[in-house]
């Protein structure tokens, strides 16, 4: 049986909550976790007669995003009303942007894992990003068959970032979402807290026989709030669509929800019950006009972007694209790395990168700490790297020193090496003495080696290192041992 080769097409819509102080059209706070309805003012609960006033901070963040993805920041954009009834939508319409969004176009370059331990480059184009307000929350539990409404979230500023259908696998979708997540945090427009819903993904998924020009019918998976769920939901959906088509069915356009407990997607509503939202320009708000001077000012305040910094790391320090991308995943990590290299010297840049991405990242991960809370500072790590570079300690000992730094056993790598006597032994006489001792105590291994068992040599090296408490320079041990045996 010949199987069709299916191509997957994915586009993402990401709702990124902007980290302003107050709501997009009112002065109420957007802080998370307050008692229900205490952060909902007259405007948010849509009392009769109230009017929206646009929060400039939200616009500024949209501009920052537009600049960061190389998009056009619209000189004029329009707020529109999206009309529908729902209890947690107090006005009976959501203020959003429809025909003229604030950000148009743009792109994001990413590295996608190829599943074989490597990575490939991928560019995802953006369609648009627009400003809108969030709705409140309907609480269906704890109200004995009734629904509770919490309007604290109503009016929270969102930037909805819409990609082109450029992704061809769940891995690409996740890589894009992660890169976008890193970027919005990097440019400080969103806290990126996915548990609290600050960064939510909707995935439009369709499949088509490879080579077919037209897209297949898509289904939209709503509200995915972790990268894992994003991956699971897309993978499940792809297989579901392929199975359906191969069984002779047809995909119907629909909105679906992902159930993390079952790992399945299920239809929420079909195209037939799609709302007519009756969009029209909100007459309470003037067109949003963004002058070149405003854009220039925001540009002047932008931090160096991760892509630029990554390129700099590759150019100046000879890092691989993957390493440079990993180190620029967040501003904090990048800053830590830059500080470490500044202290250790550019010659040690690669070693610094290995430590930041390797032992430090693993240790932080295990302790569930952010790099800004790292017990080992960038300067301390740089001190450690310097001692590796000048052969004061071996890599093995360095791990012990790092652990000691982590546990605050000393102020610096030097202090710990000194206090714990971890300095590498490079004195030929001292190493020879150790070797002699070891050879005397391990005659059996010596005989085995002489009989041609190469492994016996390694065992002897290990014994020497052990006898030196790990401090003997391994290269010297090797060399001297060979000489003695040879």
Q: Which of 294, 48, 327 is nearest to 182 (CA)?
A: 327
Q: Which is nearer to another protein, 274 or 433 (CB)?
A: 274
Q: Which of 170, 248, 190, 217 is nearest to 62 (CA)?
A: 190
Given a contact cutoff of 8 angstroms between Cβ atoms, the answer to whether 10 and 173 are in contact is yes
Buried b (16+ CB within 10 A) or exposed e, 177-205: bbbbbbbbbbbebbbbebeebbbbbbbbb
Q: Which is nearer to another protein, 3 or 144 (CB)?
A: 144
Least spacing, CB of residue 157 vs another protein, in Å: 16
Query: What would the DSSP string read from start to end of 184-238?
Result: HHHTTS----TTTTSEEEEEEEEEEETT-SSPPPPEEEEEE-SHHHHHHHHHHHH
Least spacing, CB of residue 94 vs another protein, in Å: 11
Least spacing, CB of residue 140 vs another protein, in Å: 12
Least spacing, CB of residue 138 vs another protein, in Å: 10
Q: Which is nearer to another protein, 155 or 216 (CB)?
A: 155
**Euclidean distance between CA atoms 369 and 14, whole angstroms:** 27
Q: Which is nearer to another protein, 63 or 154 (CB)?
A: 154
Q: Which is nearer to another protein, 49 or 452 (CB)?
A: 49
Least spacing, CB of residue 3 vs another protein, in Å: 40
**Euclidean distance between CA atoms 319 and 479, whole angstroms:** 32
Least spacing, CB of residue 15 vs another protein, in Å: 22
Least spacing, CB of residue 100 vs another protein, in Å: 14
Q: Which is nearer to another protein, 227 or 279 (CB)?
A: 279
Least spacing, CB of residue 99 vs another protein, in Å: 11
Least spacing, CB of residue 93 vs another protein, in Å: 5
Q: Which is nearer to another protein, 48 or 115 (CB)?
A: 48
Q: Which is nearer to another protein, 88 or 191 (CB)?
A: 88
Least spacing, CB of residue 52 vs another protein, in Å: 7
Number of H helices, E strands in the chain: 16, 17
**Euclidean distance between CA atoms 63 and 302, whole angstroms:** 10
Phi, psi of 73 (to 5 degrees): -90, 115
Q: Which is nearer to another protein, 202 or 282 (CB)?
A: 282
Radius of gyration of the chain (CA): 29
Q: Which is nearer to another protein, 51 or 347 (CB)?
A: 51
CA dihedral 211, 214, 215, 216 (to 10 degrees): -90
Q: What is the binding site for another protein (CB under 8 A)?
A: 42, 45-54, 81, 83, 85, 87, 90-93, 147, 149, 276, 278-280, 283-286
In the block, tokens 């890599």 appear at: 395
Q: Which is nearer to another protein, 93 or 258 (CB)?
A: 93
Least spacing, CB of residue 27 vs another protein, in Å: 10
Q: What six digits make up the tokens of 15?
A: 């709702």
Beta-carbon contacts of residue 136 (< 8 Å; ≥ 6 apart):
40, 88, 89, 90, 149, 150, 151, 152, 153, 154
Given a contact cutoff of 8 angstroms between Cβ atoms, the answer to whether 14 and 225 are in contact is no
**Euclidean distance between CA atoms 57 and 10, whole angstroms:** 31
In a 3-state reduction of DSSP, which class is residue 49?
coil
**Residue 358 DSSP label:** I
Q: Which is nearer to another protein, 48 or 429 (CB)?
A: 48
The Cβ of residue 92 has, within 10 Å, a number of other Cβ atoms equal to 11
Cα 357 to chain centroid, rounded: 14
**Euclidean distance between CA atoms 315 and 318, whole angstroms:** 6
Least spacing, CB of residue 104 vs another protein, in Å: 22
Q: Which of 97, 113, 118 is nearest to 25 (CA)?
A: 97
């Amino acid at each position: 049986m010949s199987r069709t080769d299916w191509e997957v097409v994915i586009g993402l819509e990401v709702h990124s909550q902007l980290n302003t102080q107050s709501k997009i059209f009112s002065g109420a706070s957007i802080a998370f976790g307050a008692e229900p309805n205490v952060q909902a003012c007259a405007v948010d609960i849509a009392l009769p007669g109230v009017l929206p006033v646009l929060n400039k901070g939200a616009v500024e963040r949209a501009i920052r995003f537009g600049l960061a993805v190389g998009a056009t920041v619209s000189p004029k954009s329009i707020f529109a009303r999206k009309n529908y009834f729902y209890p947690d939508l107090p006005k009976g319409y959501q203020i959003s942007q429809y025909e003229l969004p604030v950000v148009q176009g743009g792109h994001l370059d990413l590295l996608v894992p190829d599943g074989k331990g490597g990575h490939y480059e991928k560019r995802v184009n953006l369609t648009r990003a627009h400003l809108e307000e969030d709705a409140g929350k309907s609480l269906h539990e704890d109200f004995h068959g009734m629904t509770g409404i919490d309007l604290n979230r109503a009016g929270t500023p969102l930037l909805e970032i819409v990609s082109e259908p450029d992704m061809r696998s769940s891995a690409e979708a996740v890589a894009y979402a992660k890169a976008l997540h890193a970027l919005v945090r990097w440019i400080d427009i969103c806290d990126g807290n996915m548990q609290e819903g600050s960064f939510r993904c909707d995935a439009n998924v369709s499949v088509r026989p490879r080579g077919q020009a037209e897209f297949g019918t898509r289904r939209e998976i709503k509200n995915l709030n972790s990268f894992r769920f994003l991956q699971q939901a897309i993978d499940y959906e792809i297989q579901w669509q392929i199975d359906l088509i191969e069984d002779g069915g047809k995909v119907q356009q629909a909105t679906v929800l992902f159930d993390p407990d079952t790992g399945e997607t299920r239809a929420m509503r079909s195209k037939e019950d799609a709302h007519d939202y009756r969009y029209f320009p909100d007459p309470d708000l003037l067109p949003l006009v963004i002058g070149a001077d405003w854009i220039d000012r925001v540009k002047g305040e932008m931090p160096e972007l991760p892509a630029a910094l990554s390129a700099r790391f590759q150019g100046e320090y000879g890092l691989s694209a993957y390493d440079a991308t990993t180190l620029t995943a967040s501003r904090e990590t990048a800053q830590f790395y830059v500080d470490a290299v500044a202290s250790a010297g550019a010659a040690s840049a690669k070693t610094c990168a290995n430590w930041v991405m390797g032992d430090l990242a693993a240790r932080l991960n295990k302790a569930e700490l952010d790099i800004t809370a790292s017990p080992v500072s960038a300067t301390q790590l740089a001190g450690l790297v310097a001692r590796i570079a000048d052969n004061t300690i071996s890599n093995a000992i360095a791990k012990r020193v790092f652990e000691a730094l982590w546990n605050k056993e000393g102020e610096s790598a030097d202090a710990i090496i000194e206090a714990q006597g971890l300095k590498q032994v490079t004195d030929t006489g001292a190493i020879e003495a150790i070797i002699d001792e070891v050879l005397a105590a391990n005659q059996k291994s010596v005989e085995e080696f002489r009989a041609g068992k190469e492994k016996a040599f390694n065992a002897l090296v290990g014994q020497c290192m052990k006898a030196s408490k790990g401090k003997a320079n391994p290269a010297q041990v090797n060399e001297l041992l060979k000489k003695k045996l040879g």
